[in-house]
Amino acid sequence: ENLQSKRDIIVLIGMMGTGKSTVGGYLAAETGYRLLDLDALIAEKAGCSIPQLFEEKGETYFRDLETEVLCESLKKPGSILATGGGAVLRDYNCREMLDCGWVVALAASADEIVSRVGEDKGRPLLAGGAKERITALLEERKDAYDFAHVTVDTSGKSAEEVSAEILMHY
């Protein structure tokens, strides 16, 4: 396999609030690649917001759409993919990411994540107490992002700094 061609697609994974979309924007500007924000593409495909999708169709329906949008995006060289925090929950998705792209995990502490996302109404999984939910999700998913080619700790760094650090590994 040719690692060089894999680098035509940079896949950002990591928990909610690690800055995937924001960092993705800087990476896109630096590389000239297009930014594909998977949550936005899912909402577009579904014709409604992510919270509405969870509420009206359920999480499995959302996850199926997520897998679909991920696989379509992985066929587009010259892209930065900002995935949703749960996109790694299916092994199939992880294998596709590793096969088609250069996978970069963004990490952050629970406290840092809580302070970044706050009581976010756009994140259905955080409904009913962000701090408790984030701590529980971090525990549940603590190894889920380990398969990445590279992991970058984002704590105390600006999105611009994180983007520059990723490009140093690139």
Asked if 57 touches ligand S3P (CB under 6 A), the answer is: no
Looking at the Cβ atoms of 18 and 31, the one nearer to ligand S3P is 18
- Region 86-105 residues binding ligand S3P, contact defined as CB under 6 A: 86
- Please identify which residue in the block is written with the tokens 């040719």: 2
Residue 128 marked ligand-binding: no
Smallest separation, CB 136 to ligand S3P (Å): 12
End-to-end CA distance of the chain, in Å? 17
Residue 34 marked ligand-binding: no
Of 58, 100, 99, 66, whose CA–CA distance to 83 is shortest?
66
Span of 90-98, 120-128, 143-151, 161-169 interacting with ligand S3P by CB under 6 A: 120-128
Single residue of 112, 123, 157, 162 touching ligand S3P by CB under 6 A? 123
Asked if 84 touches ligand S3P (CB under 6 A), the answer is: yes
The per-residue b/e assignment along 19-56, b for 16 or more CB within 10 angstroms, e otherwise, is bbbbbbbbbbeebebebbbbbebbbeebeeebbebbee
Of 35, 60, 37, whose CA–CA distance to 122 is shortest?
37
Span of 67-75, 93-101, 122-130, 142-150 interacting with ligand S3P by CB under 6 A: 122-130
SS3 128: coil
The residue ranges that bind ligand S3P (CB under 6 A) are 16, 20, 39, 50, 84-86, 123-125
Binding-site residue numbers for substrate are 39, 63, 85, 141
